[in-house]
Amino acid sequence: MAAAALSQYFGRYLSIVLVESEEIGIVGVGEATIPQIRLFNAGLGLDEREFLRETMGTFKLGIEFVGWRREGMRYFHGFGEVGRAIGLVPFHHYWLRYAREGGPLPLDRFSPNTMAARENRYGVPANARAARLPASAYHFDAARYAAFLRRYAEARGVTRREGKVVNVRLDGESGFIVGLDLADGGRIDGDLFVDCSGFRGLLIEQALAAGYEDWSHWLPCDRALAVPSTGDGKLEPYTRSTARDAGWQWHIPLRHRTGNGHVYSSSFTTDDEAQRVLLANLPGERLADPRPLRFVTGKRREIWKRNCVALGLASGFLEPLESTSIHLIQAGIARLLALFPDRHCDPVLVREFNRQIDWEFTAVRDFLILHYHVTERDGSEFWRYCRAMPIPESLQEKLAMFRSSGRIVRQNMELFDTPSWLQVMWGQGLRPEGHHPMVDAASAADLARYIAMNERETSEQVASLSDHAAYLARLVASDASAPLARPAEVAG
C-alpha cells in the first residue's frame, strides 16, 4: 500500500525500493475493511471492477454482532447514517423520545445498511443523489490485494527487491538509518525508511528501540486461529462476529471462499479448545489447516522515529474486531504524504505525525474496548473479567455522557462517528436516561411525521437495491458501462 501510494503521488521523483522476503511471507489475514478503503483505491485510480476481480472481493455494509450483549441476541453495526439529523441534533435523540412515548419502530429501521444487510441486498439506489447508500467497504483476499498493489507499484517505477534484511546500519552520530544489508550480500541505502516488516518491527523496534505500549489489559485477546472454508451459499454483504467464551469468531464471505477465525485470550482458554470451537462452527467444508497467530494489542511509543516511519503491524496492532488495521495503514500513509519530510526529517513533522497517529490508535482502542466492557455476558471468566476491568478515562467519559443524555461527541475527527458509537452502545445494551432537550420543542405531530419520513426513505432506498451476489456477478463481469458507487457518496 505504501509503495503504491508513494509511487502514485510522487511519480518517479522519488526512487522507491520495496524489499520483501518470500521466505518470510506476509500475515495475509486482513480480509475485512471499512469504507475509507474506497478513498485509498480511488486515490490510486483503481477501477472497482478490476479490483474486485483481482482480489475475489465482496461488498461489506457493516458487521453483525452475534451474542455480544448476551447469548441469543444480535445487533448490526452498519456503516453510514442512522436517520437524518435536524440541524445540530442527531436523529437518534428524536427517536429516543419517540421510543419512550411508545413508538414501535426499532433503531435498525433507520439504518439503510442494516436493513439492506438483513435482505442480502447491495447496489446503487435508484435515486443515488439523495441516497444514503451505499456506505460500504469490501471484503477481499489480502494476499491478492498485496500482489495487485505490487504490480501497480512496479508499473510506476518502484523497484521490488526480493531478499532478507539481516542488518540495519545506523549513522554513528545522528542515529538515522543509513542502509540495510541483505542476506545475499546486497546493500540498500536510503534517506527515508518505511518499516512494513510486520509484528517484528525490524527497523523501528529491533534497530531503533521505539518501545511498545501494551494495551492487553484492556483488550485481552492475544491469539487467533484463521482457517478458510467453503461458504454457505449466501454471500452476505457483511462480516459476522460471534462472541465465544474466551473471545469471538469472524465470518468473512469472499467469492472463492469464506474467511473464518477465532480471536481469543490465552489467559482464558487453551489453543486446543480454541481450535475445537472454531472448527465446530464453520459454515462449510474446511479448506486448509488452521493457522495460529499471536499478538500483543498496543502500539509503538514512537511510530515515526528519526528517519523511519512504521506502518501496519510494525506500528502496532489493534485486534480485528472492527476491521481497522488496513485502515490504520492507510491513515499512516495519508499522514506521511501530508507531512512528507526532506532528508533531515524535521523533528516538528515527526512530532505532529506521532501526535495524530497516536490519537487515531487511541480512539479506535476505546471503541473496541466498548464492545467487551459493556455487556451482559457473564457465563465465562473472560467476560466477567471484561465487564469488571477498569477502562480508560476517555471511554468512561463517553459512556457517562451517553448514559445521561444520549449525547455522543466526536473528538478530533476520530475515525468512528456518532452512528457507529450509537449502534454499538445501544446494541451492547447501554440505555440513555435522557435525550437532547431541543427534541421536546417538537410537537407530537411533527415528531411522528419526521420519524415516518425517515422510515419511508430508508425502506425505499433498500427496496431499490439488488441481490448482493447478483449485483457483484454483474459488476465483475461488466466493462466500463456498469454504474459504480462513487467515493464521494461513501465517506463515513
Ligand X SMILES: Cc1cc2nc3c(=O)[nH]c(=O)nc-3n(C[C@H](O)[C@H](O)[C@H](O)COP(=O)(O)OP(=O)(O)OC[C@H]3O[C@@H](n4cnc5c(N)ncnc54)[C@H](O)[C@@H]3O)c2cc1C
Binding site for ligand X (CB under 6 A): 19-21, 24-27, 29-33, 142, 164-165, 196-198, 200, 202, 224, 226, 261, 293, 295, 312-314, 320, 323, 325-326, 329
Of 166 and 452, which has the nearer Cβ to ligand X?
166
Give the integer Cα–Cα distance in Å for 423 and 100: 18
Give the integer Cα–Cα distance in Å for 80 and 134: 8
Cβ atoms 222, 296 nearer than 8 A: yes
Closest approach of ligand X to the CB of residue 417, in Å: 18
Closest approach of ligand X to the CB of residue 323, in Å: 4
Q: Which DSSP symbol is given to 76?
A: E
Which residue blocks in 56-101 are alpha helix, DSSP H? 91-100
Which set of grid coordinates corresponds to residue 132?
444514503
Of 89 and 182, which has the nearer Cβ to ligand X?
182
Of 27 and 107, which has the nearer Cβ to ligand X?
27
Q: In what order do the strands lie in the sheet with 316-317?
A: 212-214, 298-300, 316-317
Residue nearest to ligand X (CB): 312
Closest approach of ligand X to the CB of residue 311, in Å: 7
Query: For residue 298, is it left (φ>0), alpha (ψ between -120 and 50) or beta?
Result: left
Instruction: With H, G, I as helix, E, B as strand and everything else as coil, classify residue 357.
Output: helix
Dihedrals φ, ψ of 179, to 5°? -175, 170
Give the integer Cα–Cα distance in Å for 383 and 380: 6
347-373 vs 393-405: helix crossing angle, rounded to 10: 50
Query: Sign of the CA dihedral 5, 7, 13, 15?
Result: positive
Of 200 and 344, which has the nearer Cβ to ligand X?
200
Give the integer Cα–Cα distance in Å for 27 and 15: 27
Of 179 and 198, which has the nearer Cβ to ligand X?
198
Residues assigned a catalytic role: 60
Which residue do the cell numbers 523496534 mark? 205
Give the integer Cα–Cα distance in Å for 144 and 304: 28
Of 21 and 216, which has the nearer Cβ to ligand X?
21
Q: What is the CA radius of gyration of the chain?
A: 23
Which residues are CB-neighbours of 360 under 8 A, at least 6 positions away? 328, 331, 414, 415
Q: Given the DSSP bridges, would you call strands 239-244 and 247-253 parallel, antiparallel or unpaired?
A: antiparallel
Cβ atoms 422, 448 nearer than 8 A: no
Of 239 and 458, which has the nearer Cβ to ligand X?
239
Of 135 and 180, which has the nearer Cβ to ligand X?
180
Which set of grid coordinates corresponds to residue 201?
518491527
Closest approach of ligand X to the CB of residue 234, in Å: 19
Query: Nearest-5° angle of CA 223, CA 225, CA 231?
Result: 145
Query: Sign of the CA dihedral 424, 428, 434, 439?
Result: positive
